[in-house]
Amino acid sequence: MSTPEKITIVGAGLMGHGIAQIFALHGHLVRLVDSNEDVLNIAKDRVRDNLTNMANQGVVFDESFDVILDRIQISADLAPACEDPDFVIEAVYENLELKQQIFSDLDRLCPSKTILCSNTSVMSITEIASKSENRERIVGTHFWNPPYLIPLVEVVRTEESADWCAEATFDLLARVGKKPVHVYKDVPGFVGNRLQHALWREAFAIIDEGICDPATVDEVIRNGFGLRLPILGPVETADMVGLDLTIAIHDYILPHINADPIPSTTLKEKVDAGELGFKSGSGFQVWSEEEIAQSRQRLANYLIGIFAGQHD
């Protein structure tokens, strides 16, 4: 068996520590870098908590947590973590100038074999790479939160990314149990966030227009077509119901579906009033601390259950 690739992750926050966990679990040596020592010092504890939570819900690990965690080395400095990695995954704040600077530093510090990836949620990989010289080795790897439980990673190539770079990244992700997909064009939101926010825009437009109350929007999705989504995406569903029926429905309904290029009125009013959701205790509904904890736990339990089922 070939030696597992060395992985450097820049940014040890919510996404970075979870991405480190994926690679450490699959035998890779991981160097985890963060400029904030407080974040860095708790990163491995966060990984241990995630693993404990998963084990408590029936996920079986082949190795002890200590063995897995020993593969993660933390560092406050970028340079030592750039000596010989095969891949670097950047997961710092969503700030274009910061990401451009980090990629320019990575490009200067890393050997020519190293592939450089950004975990930006929506920013142009082309722009992030624009201050670097060797842009052929730069791609997007858009993980979803929590990255160790949600399988999808969008591998986004720019017009300058080399095919070998996108293919090697895709191959690595598949080997650590992810479900990578190729995104051939570097467009805002890539594929997943375009689809997700098309649905959210319509959800908020329905609330703006008073067609139903906010809780009903979620109920319609969760108890209706949402039940089909893990099994059938819209493309396969269209084939199932018939493309002739699909076009007839679209002819009738598309003129009525929201296409505004700006956020919803209700959303804007709530944000202006400081109603930000969990973080302020009220959003589309009022949230107690207990309800917030229950909501987070319900999601974690559901995702861990799926993960456990896939890794039996």
- Is residue 16 a contact point for ligand NAD (CB under 6 A)? yes
Interacting residue with ligand NAD among 8, 50, 114, 119 (CB under 6 A): 119
User: What is d(CA 145, CA 21) in angstroms, rounded to the nearest whole number?
Assistant: 13
Q: Is 297 in the site for ligand NAD (CB under 6 A)?
A: no
Q: Is 189 in the site for ligand NAD (CB under 6 A)?
A: no
Contact between residue 115 and residue 88 where contact means Cβ atoms under 8 Å apart? yes
Residue choice 7, 9, 12, 68 for contact with ligand NAD (CB under 6 A) = 12
Q: Which listed range, 137-145, 159-167, 261-269, 277-285, lies at the site for ligand NAD (CB under 6 A)?
A: 137-145
Residue count at the site for ligand NAD (CB under 6 A)? Answer: 24
Cis peptide before 146 (omega within 30 of 0): yes
Classify strands 72-75 and 179-183 as parallel, antiparallel or unpaired: unpaired
Minimum CB separation from ligand NAD for residue 2, in Å?
A: 29
CB of 244 to ligand NAD, least distance (A): 38
- Indicate the residue among 34 and 86 with the shorter CB distance to ligand NAD: 34
125 binds ligand NAD (CB under 6 A): no
> Are β-strands 179-183 and 138-143 bridged in parallel, bridged antiparallel, or unpaired?
unpaired
Rounded distance between C-alpha atoms, residue 260 and residue 174, angstroms = 37
Residue 236 CB-density burial (10 A; 0-12 exposed, 13-18 middle, 19+ buried): exposed
> Taking Cα atoms as reference points, which of 157, 154, 155, 153 lies closest to residue 126?
157
84 in Cβ contact with 74 (< 8 Å) = no
What's the token pair of residue 77?
């400095």
The reply on whether position 191 binds ligand NAD by CB under 6 A is: no
The smaller minimum CB distance to ligand NAD, of residues 102 and 129, is found at 102
Contact between 33 and ligand NAD by CB under 6 A: the answer reads yes
* Residue 64 within binding range of ligand NAD, rule CB under 6 A: no
User: What positions carry a catalytic annotation?
Assistant: 121, 142, 154, 193
The reply on whether position 85 binds ligand NAD by CB under 6 A is no
Q: Does 37 bind ligand NAD (CB under 6 A)?
A: no
Length of the chain: 312
